[in-house]
Amino acid sequence: MIATLARAPIARLLRDPRARLAMVGWSAVAVAFAIASRWRGSSHAADRALLDAYGPLVLPLLAYAIAGGVVGARSLSRSGAPLVAFGASPTRAAAVAVLVAVVACTVGGACLAAAVDILAHGSADPPLGRDAMASAYAGGLGGAAYGAWFMLGASFGKQGGGRLALLVADWMLGAGDGAAALLTPRGHLRNLFGGPPPVDLPERASAAALVAFAIACALLAARRAR
């Protein structure tokens, strides 16, 4: 049943030219930043590329594009309407669409973070294999959180305009290291990449927070579609 319901959101994601262009474009931006950081000769080039470009810019916008592709630039409930017309539960159709987005963002976030780390790796960065795995772990957690975050946004508005509102909220609230940064994925992801943590939160707590964001936002998105 899940595989059947997943076909439509997967097809929308793969066939949407805007989503494909955005995914390729933001991946290229991440690679370009990684190479540029390496060429500048920074001893912590991988850290800089992940903290300055990948975490705050590329991953959120990549996840935003993926979520938009999954719902076809519509609201979450409207994107599942054809499946509901054929007898699927609105909640189940929405939940599977959210699952598709979260899985795509998790895999994409992990792979791209590892690629950035490998391409930018500097002499003072941790050993390459271990560092690439840690980057993939952080990128995957961040991708899962952002995927669910933007799918929750897609449940608001006739065209899923809540995605843009949550993108702006993430940038504004997560930019600092105060208590407000606890409320969005941005501050926690920065912590996992070695940047300033929200209110001195340990890295494990930020990892748990990203998992909590992914689960809570996914459940809320599916519930709103009902």
Q: For residues 85 and 58, which has the higher predicted lDDT (pLDDT)?
A: 58
* pLDDT digit string, tens, across residues 47-76: 889 999 999 999 999 999 999 999 987 889
CA distance 66 to 23: 7
> What DSSP state is assigned to residue 3?
H
Domain that holds residue 29: 2-225
CB contact set of 18 (below 8 Å; sequence gap of 6+): 65, 68, 69, 73
- Classified as helix, coil or strand, 20 is helix
* pLDDT digit string, tens, across residues 134-148: 999 999 999 999 999
Q: With pLDDT > 90 as the criterion, what percentage of the chain qualifies? A: 70
User: What's CA 145's distance to the chain center, in Å?
Assistant: 6
Domains in the chain: how many in total? 1
Tokens of 181: 């940064």
The answer to whether 138 and 59 have CB atoms below 8 angstroms apart is no
Q: What is the DSSP string of 73-138?
A: TS-HHHHTHHHHHTT--HHHHHHHHHHHHHHHHHHHHHHHHHHHHHHH--TTSSPHHHHHHHHHHH
pTM above 0.75, yes or no: yes
